[in-house]
Structure 1
């Protein structure tokens, strides 16, 4: 089996309001050429195809063209990430099924029931790749296909372990060790792995930390979510975070981006190779004098640049001078560091006091002043917070009370006693 693993494209991303579309076009073309040369049996994209849940039409079109081009080389599986909309990927999956011909792009938008969660793909060597996928799971989104509602109150790690164990059992059901090769694909944060700081912070905190204890016994585990390319922590599982193919912000400026090539035979450990990616504009950050900038100007080509210039006083033509020095660069920001201005040190306490309040904080203040009618202010505030979280995560809000009402409701034809 030959597998190509990529991840975290974040189509539609911007940096300082500058579109990254040109960089994505270049790096996708580079990934496609790597795929053509490698000749994989399967291509796996482990999530965050898009940068936001409601991508622009041009980004959906870009994704469609890219995936169809890759699918002309080998079947493609795309796992839903935390930035993706499961509803959109479901719609794209339906479109791929009804557009005619053999479906070559498969979107795994939501966690599937174990009996439906294993995809199978033949290889050129006559083997079969059996792939189980775990899309990103929001902490407030309950998956009833993996147990009764009584287990829904458990912590996130316990829920993920249960899903992984169930998928592992399904993956190995009727598994032929002489002809089959098992692969697990997921969009998860594994504790101990290194993040870049450009990931969505709320989805890489302690709440979302998982481990590899119940990851199925597979030849290769393809992970997405973290933007820094790296091997999975520990020695339990052979696998990698493919990482983002371009530096999405300056927290990734020193990372070597790559695509992962995997080769495996039944019953043997996978051989894993990373191929560096170089397409797309570099990110450059400079802090110094105009003279120091001029000395290195020849090293800066069409980079995306943030420039801070040390100057004794105000220079009204600062941006124009920098632009003349770096004619091909895209100047994201040019700012002076003036020695004639005093600098006030802002403490963390001041930042917290001066920071703009969140919607939750403003609503809590409103409830404190006006109160609530039907329920206590804390219950109302909790419900408001869940609704905000559901909007952020592009899903319907889930309330425990609904599950209780559903459990208490009579089945069809049952009588209700007074």
Structure 2
């Protein structure tokens, strides 16, 4: 059986108010192409299909259209669980209708194991699917005491108990997989994940996974990564797009799982090319350096977090001009250099004439000083040093 594991689509999410909808559409197109090209037998979506419990209509429309395409209109099983961003009841509202098209929508945690026949490989997938297990969704108060350590222990025990009951349904003649949306201790996070744990309390240990699972498909963390110390391959597929500048440099992908009954799963990644990358610009030479980068076409298709070193305030007209020249600027932050920083820079190994040229460019909006002007500056500097020595 060949399974594709993805998660954290966050349909409807914006970047500082900028729409990512066209990028999300690109992702769905790329995902459908991968599923068809790789001859995927079943698709697992491990939570956070949406970015909010009340997603915009366009996001919902894209979601249901994507499920229809991924299932090949009923020929390929697709299983979706609710994440912490999804409304569990809203996600599962269409479950009865979706089931007729081989689509399983699971909103609230249960101990039921999904037995899913996969016709393309003539195998049965036993899926221990656990949607986001918060206290409210579990309908259980885990601890009445304000003790983080105790709450963490109770939460881990609860999740472990659920998986243990599910584990009893696994069989030797089926493909046995677990899927959940939660935070496993030790995972690498980013700023775009709204924490599902309070101070680290809502975490589980890798030992809590069902022991007979051949693979554990996880959602919530946006960086693709394996879970350390798990007894079986356990993995976060990561988000398909970078959703915060803390994710700069992350390579995005989907996970492919090849597995047969009673055999070890073989895991591989397929990189994604959709969406605009997120990059950070640090203009240490001032505004002139930014204009030079724009003229060169640097990171032309990216969303940019820009920081500019300046000695004086950056006029709002200048910021508007930058945004008009390039629509990719998300943040434009002036970094005001203090006198001490300027002195420190001057004491560095950068030649003094180079520092003067940078200063001149910043003050004039990009003009280059003439050789005569640079020479005059150096002569004045020498004269000042000599006057200082006389004192």
Q: TM-score, normalised by structure 2?
A: 0.77
Say whether the 8 Å CA contact 2:76–2:118 is kept in structure 1. Answer: no
Return the alpha-carbon distance in structure 2 between the equivalents of residues 142 and 60 of structure 1: 25
Return the alpha-carbon distance in structure 2 between the equivalents of residues 254 and 153 of structure 1: 32
Q: For residue 103 of structure 1, report the CA deviation from its aligned partner.
A: 2.5
Q: In the TM superposition, what are the counterparts of 1:184-263 in structure 2 within 5 Å?
A: 184-203=178-197, 205-216=199-210, 217-263=212-258
Say whether the 8 Å CA contact 1:42–1:121 is kept in structure 2. Answer: no
Tell me the secondary structure at the aligned position of residue 208 of structure 2. Answer: coil
Return the alpha-carbon distance in structure 2 between the equivalents of residues 270 and 67 of structure 1: 25
* C-alpha RMSD of matched pairs (Å): 2.4
Tell me the secondary structure at the aligned position of residue 336 of structure 1. Answer: strand
Q: For residue 36 of structure 1, report the CA deviation from its aligned partner.
A: 1.0
Q: In the TM superposition, what are the counterparts of 1:30-109 in structure 2 within 5 Å?
A: 30-72=30-72, 74-97=76-99, 102-109=100-107
Q: In the TM superposition, what are the counterparts of 1:264-279 in structure 2 within 5 Å?
A: 264-279=259-274
Say whether the 8 Å CA contact 1:139–1:208 is kept in structure 2. Answer: no
The structure-2 alpha-carbon separation of the partners of 1:341 and 1:31, relative to structure 1 and needing over 3 Å to count, comes to: farther
Return the alpha-carbon distance in structure 1 between the equivalents of residues 166 and 29 of structure 2: 34
Q: Match for 1:291 among 288, 292, 312?
A: 288
Say whether the 8 Å CA contact 2:50–2:86 is kept in structure 1. Answer: yes
Q: How many residues align?
A: 323
Q: For residue 235 of structure 1, report the CA deviation from its aligned partner.
A: 4.2
1:183 corresponds to 2:177? yes
Say whether the 8 Å CA contact 2:152–2:202 is kept in structure 1. Answer: no
Return the alpha-carbon distance in structure 1 between the equivalents of residues 239 and 2 of structure 2: 21
**CA offsets, 1:61-113, max 9 Å, x none?**
1111111111116211001101100110121213424xxxx322111111234
Return the alpha-carbon distance in structure 2 between the equivalents of residues 270 and 153 of structure 1: 30
Return the alpha-carbon distance in structure 2 between the equivalents of residues 273 and 139 of structure 1: 34
Say whether the 8 Å CA contact 1:111–1:143 is kept in structure 2. Answer: no
Q: For residue 169 of structure 1, report the CA deviation from its aligned partner.
A: 1.1
Q: For residue 29 of structure 1, report the CA deviation from its aligned partner.
A: 1.2
- Select between 43-52 and 67-76 the one with higher mean Cα deviation: 67-76
Structure 1 runs not aligned, ≥5 long: 145-151, 344-418
Q: Match for 1:127 among 119, 123, 132?
A: 123
